[in-house]
Amino acid sequence: QISKLPKLSESIFSTMSALANQYDAINLSQGFPNFKTSEKLQQLVTEAMQNGHNQYAPMRGDLELREVIAHKIYKSHQTQYNPLTEITITAGATEALFNAITAFVHQNDEVIIFKPAFDSYEPVVELNGGVPVFIQLNYPDYKINWDEVASKINSKTKMMIVNTPLNPTGTLFTNNDMLALQNLIKNTNIIVLSDEVYEHMTYDGLLHESACKYPTLKEHSFVIASFGKTFHNTGWKIGYTAAPKHLMDEFIKVHEFNVFSINTPYQKAFATYIQDENNYNYLNQFYQDKRNLFLDGIKNSKFTFTPTKGTYFQLLKYDTITQENDVDFAKRLVKEFRIATIPISVFNTNQLDEKVLRFCFAKTDETIKKATEILCQIH
Ligand code: PMP
Ligand code: GLN
């Protein structure tokens, strides 16, 4: 066996974005904004370069940036992380997930993953010889049954990966979910990867519940964040991870020999930019308005939906339009209607086909309007 990941082929994100380009389609598939990142932030990057910040950053990240992040977390969740030892700047959330899984998962260790799930979790677990154990959540509310989770925990369970707000369903873990999770892992050695990259996108007055707010859970958790998602620059590939020292000490061993450190001028820029909370506290409203514009635009279409509670994704069910499977329908939408989306079966166990597509609404209002006009024409 030469391949370590024999089941994998091209990711759905690459496939759909390539198809969107080929057919000159509106691309609501891969999750990235089509509007500009802040001018001020771009200016700060340029200034950092001009001021000579162009050599290797410290391995864990620029210290000022780590201090600013520790302060931001304290303001949001009233909990302290030591910026010297408990925060690391990473090449996006993707690197953080890779490091945390690689640092802890040994051959045959079990890792609980909720499905549908972001596509990077499972391959990294398998690359490390771990065994993914799936828990399927189902349309329309994708609620977690914690008794089912409890039934999957055994002496081989090394890790649990949670994602709130959840890509692609928009599910938000509630206070009760977090307490149930905390209750399950207390008195165990289970490590929790809490993927919180959509922390600044929650709607209708609902709040993001971070794992770091719950003291026992925090002791077991890596909290993973992405500046690309928060600050509209997914191509810059920067994020960070916060975790108690005993976990971070192992995480950085992988980080050090994976990338060593993250690009310096961007870190300098974020260190200044994130100090002003006005640069992120508008985001819930900003994306809620976009979600509402999208939903208002499709209210007379044949698609059905439950408004998403978080993330910049909306799921639409299309079983009143066609019985095609979601991959075929998504491909036909690009070719015939010039709209690219993500079929969510690719995030599910056994490719469960719920006739649901994922739409990214991190787009200009003009793009959203154009897209919804087209969606209303599909019968
Ligand atoms: N986790 C989730 C749930 C995501 O949707 C994404 C997609 N960007 C990532 C992690 C990866 O984030 P990054 O681009 O910062 O690597
Ligand atoms: N997180 C993004 C999404 O869910 C895509 C990231 C990627 O392309 N790997 O669409």
Residue pair 316/302 in contact (Cβ under 8 Å)? The answer is: no
Ligand nearest to the CA of 117: 1
Determine the CATH number of domain 39-279: 3.40.640.10
Q: Looking at domain 12-30+282-376, which CATH architecture does it have?
A: Alpha-Beta Complex (3.90)
Tell me which residue has its CA closest to atom 3 in ligand 2: 31
Distance CA 34, CA 100 (A): 30
Residue pair 28/168 in contact (Cβ under 8 Å)? The answer is: no
Counting from 1 in the atom list of ligand 1, the atom nearest the Cα of 95 is 16
Distance CA 306, CA 186 (A): 34
Ligand nearest to the CA of 121: 1
Ligand 2 centroid vs 187 CA: distance in angstroms?
34
pLDDT value of position 11: 86
Q: Counting every residue, how long is the chain?
A: 379
Burial letters for 116-153: b for 16+ Cβ neighbours within 10 Å, e otherwise?
bbbebbbbbbbebebebbbbebeeeebebebeebeeeb
Residue pair 238/262 in contact (Cβ under 8 Å)? The answer is: yes
Counting from 1 in the atom list of ligand 2, the atom nearest the Cα of 229 is 1
Tell me which residue has its CA closest to atom 7 in ligand 2: 13
Ligand nearest to the CA of 193: 1
Structure tokens at 291: 């979600």
Ligand 2 centroid vs 192 CA: distance in angstroms?
21
pLDDT value of position 9: 86
CB-CB neighbours of 157 under 10 Å = 20
Distance CA 162, CA 117 (A): 9
Distance CA 103, CA 101 (A): 6
CB-defined site of ligand 2, < 6 Å: 13, 30-31, 167
pLDDT value of position 44: 98
Counting from 1 in the atom list of ligand 1, the atom nearest the Cα of 97 is 10
CA atoms lying within 13 Å on the CB side of residue 230 = 24
The reply to whether the predicted model has a pTM over 0.95 is: yes
The runs of H, that is alpha helices, within the chain are: 12-22, 39-50, 63-77, 92-104, 121-127, 146-152, 175-185, 215-220, 227-230, 245-258, 264-273, 283-297, 326-332, 365-376
Distance CA 101, CA 178 (A): 21
pLDDT value of position 1: 81
Give the start-to-end residue ranges of the domains of the chain. 12-30+282-376, 39-279
Q: pLDDT tens string for the chain (379 positions)?
A: 899 999 888 888 898 989 999 999 999 999 999 999 999 999 999 999 999 999 999 999 999 999 999 999 999 999 999 999 999 999 999 999 999 999 999 999 999 999 999 999 999 999 999 999 999 999 999 999 999 999 999 999 999 999 999 999 999 999 999 999 999 999 999 999 999 999 999 999 999 999 999 999 999 999 999 999 999 999 999 999 999 999 999 999 999 999 999 999 999 999 999 999 999 999 999 999 999 999 999 999 999 999 999 999 999 999 999 999 999 999 999 999 999 999 999 999 888 899 999 999 999 999 999 999 999 999 9
pLDDT value of position 198: 98
Helix, strand, coil percentages (3-state) for the chain, rounded to 5, are 45, 15, 40
Residue pair 329/302 in contact (Cβ under 8 Å)? The answer is: no
DSSP 3-state assignment of 285? helix
Q: Which of 119, 44, 90 is nearest to 272 (CA)?
A: 44
* Residue 250 per-residue DSSP state: H
Counting from 1 in the atom list of ligand 2, the atom nearest the Cα of 358 is 10
Q: Which of 205, 225, 221 is nearest to 213 (CA)?
A: 221
Q: Could you tell me the maximum CA-CA distance found in the chain, to the nearest angstrom?
A: 59
Ligand 1 centroid vs 186 CA: distance in angstroms?
27
Phi, psi of 364 (to 5 degrees): -65, 155
pLDDT value of position 319: 97
278 exposed, middle or buried (CB, 10 Å; 0-12, 13-18, 19+)? exposed
